[in-house]
Structure formats: structure tokens, C-alpha cells
Amino acid sequence: MTVISYNIRLLCGQVFRWLVGTSLLLIIAAGCTKSDNNEPPSRRTDISEDRADGAEPQNERSDPREPGASGAPRATRGEVKRNEYTVQVGIFNQIDEAEQLALDLRAQRVNNFLQPVGKQWRVCVGKYYTEGRAARMAKQLQDMGFKDAKPITPGN
């Protein structure tokens, strides 16, 4: 193979890679552009939601204060339902202290939430249907350095 044919093959490879890269960028850019309507798809009114059976579409993101399917009020964010266990990592009188612990947990990539308990603030991790799963998570948190982590039974 001569030097000229080698250089042509090399140039063709570079052009091909450039075309593929440019095409991918254009495809990604086209998918990321906003429509004229800045509303998220779940709230857009220009999208028809006609159904053949004439029933109203069900919105899964209903108001958390509205009753759920069972008739009981749905739990709001940070509120544990009666049948769920959670892990208490700390409880504080001042919200600033609770928020600091929440930030420390998030820094270690642990999702958490604050739960008001009377005049105190509880920092909790997870919502589990079994006490065993909550106990395992509490053990993991203790191993990470959060020594006060303990499973909380439903209703506490």
C-alpha cells in the first residue's frame, strides 16, 4: 500500500467520524429544544387527551391532600404512612441543625427528608414496608458514621 492511499484512507476515516459526531449532536440538540409552549407536557392544554371510552384521564400527580384510592388522606412529602417504617438519623429542636444533618447525608448520596414531630425536626431516610429493611438501612448508616440512626416503627 502506498503512502498516498494510506493518507486517503486516513482522511476518509476522519471525515466519517466527523459526520457521525455532527449528526449525533444535531439529533441531541433537536430533542432538547423547547416547544413554543413552555409548560411541561403534563400541563399543556394544546395536547388532546381524548379517550375512546369517554372517561376522563387519570392524573397520577393529584393534590397530596386529596384522599387516595382507599379514602384515607395521602401522605405528603416527608410524612410516613401508617404501614411504613423509616430510619431516624437524628432529631433536633432547631430546624437549622436538622438541615445541616440532611446536607451531610446528601453529601454522601443518601436521600432523606425532614419530618416535623411536635416542636422538633426528625431527619429520616427511606420508607420501608418491613422492619428488616429499615434495620438494614440503619446499620448501613451507622457504618457510614451516623451513629444515632435507628429504625422507626409506623406511627411513631
Overall residue count recorded for the chain in this entry: 156
Please write the tens of the pLDDT for every residue from 44-64: 555 554 444 455 544 444 444
DSSP 72: S
pTM, 2 dp: 0.49
Going by C-beta distance under 8 Å and a sequence separation of 6 or more, which residues neighbour residue 37?
44, 46
Please write the tens of the pLDDT for every residue from 68-90: 444 444 444 556 666 789 999 99
Question: How far is Cα 85 from Cα 78, in angstroms, rounded to an integer?
Answer: 13
